[in-house]
């Protein structure tokens, strides 16, 4: 239970940490939803992803102390992110291959494929944020409330990035370059390597990349 005002300070701290740790997640979500044809479906996919993230967070906090053993999820997630980045730049270099891919028959509709991708990425990125939260407070209610506020903020960041991509097309290229960087960041954090890039530092890199992309866009136009 939440017993005092100091608990709310902890909750706000957890929400801030969640936002910092979720910058990379927001970039990935924005890039994934860009595959959908219109704004309505993009917002709908984020909405389903939001509730899926909340449900998953309820489940994952209960086993949070065991998550450190699930480093394999990080490796798979890093591999998937690197695949997304490589395929994006490959299709930029070879547009004919991209058109051929579109003609292939999908197992699932595009919308649900994007929603499932969003949920899978939530699972991968939740490991770090839940472990960081449990290190600050062992009260599951406090951790859950802080995480829920953070998830909501992260979805807001993703929507802002999607809108910016519409105004500045070069941001899509920047997003996939950052996704490749995020893949390496995630892989380096597995226990056998143990290199953690501080969240504030990575957030700074992201904002610097956005600023450089904005300057390039202004110079080109």
For the chain, the structural domain boundaries read 5-220
On whether the CB atoms of residues 188 and 197 are closer than 8 A, the answer is yes
On whether the CB atoms of residues 18 and 154 are closer than 8 A, the answer is yes
Q: 154-177, pLDDT tens digit by residue? A: 777 777 877 877 788 888 888 888
Q: What is the largest CA-CA distance in the chain?
A: 61
Give the model's pLDDT for residue 74: 75
Q: How many residues does the chain have?
A: 221
217: CB partners within 8 A, 6+ apart: 168, 169, 170
**Residue 59, both tokens:** 């489940």
**Residue 18, both tokens:** 């969640």
Give the model's pLDDT for residue 90: 86
On whether the CB atoms of residues 120 and 80 are closer than 8 A, the answer is yes
The residue that leads in pLDDT, 199 or 54, is 54
Q: Report how far residue 188's alpha carbon sits from residue 38's, in angstroms, rounded to the nearest whole number.
A: 36
Give the model's pLDDT for residue 19: 66
Question: Which of 16-20, 135-139, 186-190, 202-206 holds the top average pLDDT?
Answer: 186-190
Asked whether residue 84 carries a pLDDT value surpassing 70, the answer given is: yes
Kindly report the number of other CB atoms within 10 A of residue 23's CB atom.
Answer: 22
Q: Report how far residue 33's alpha carbon sits from residue 42's, in angstroms, rounded to the nearest whole number.
A: 5
Give the model's pLDDT for residue 187: 86
Phi-psi region of 212 (alpha: psi -120 to 50; beta: other; left: phi over 0): alpha
Kindly report the number of other CB atoms within 10 A of residue 149's CB atom.
Answer: 17
């Amino acid at each position: 239970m939440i017993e005092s005002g100091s608990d709310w300070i902890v909750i706000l701290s957890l929400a801030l940490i969640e936002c910092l740790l979720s910058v990379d997640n927001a970039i990935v979500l924005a890039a994934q939803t860009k595959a959908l044809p219109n704004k309505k479906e993009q917002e709908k996919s984020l909405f389903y992803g939001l509730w899926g993230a909340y449900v998953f967070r309820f489940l994952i906090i209960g086993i949070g102390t065991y998550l450190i053993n699930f480093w394999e999820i990080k490796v798979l997630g890093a591999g998937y992110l690197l695949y997304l980045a490589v395929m994006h730049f490959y299709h930029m270099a070879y547009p004919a291959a991209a058109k051929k891919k579109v003609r292939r028959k999908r197992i699932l509709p595009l919308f649900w494929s994007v929603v499932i991708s969003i949920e899978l990425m939530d699972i991968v990125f939740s490991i770090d944020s839940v472990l960081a939260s449990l290190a600050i407070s062992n009260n599951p209610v406090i951790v859950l409330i802080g995480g829920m506020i953070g998830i909501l903020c992260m979805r807001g960041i993703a929507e802002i990035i999607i809108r910016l991509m519409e105004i500045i097309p070069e941001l899509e290229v920047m997003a996939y370059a950052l996704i490749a960087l995020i893949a390496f960041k995630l892989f380096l954090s597995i226990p056998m390597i143990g290199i953690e890039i501080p969240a504030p530092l990575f957030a700074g890199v992201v904002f610097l990349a956005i600023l450089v992309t904005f300057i390039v866009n202004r110079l080109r136009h």
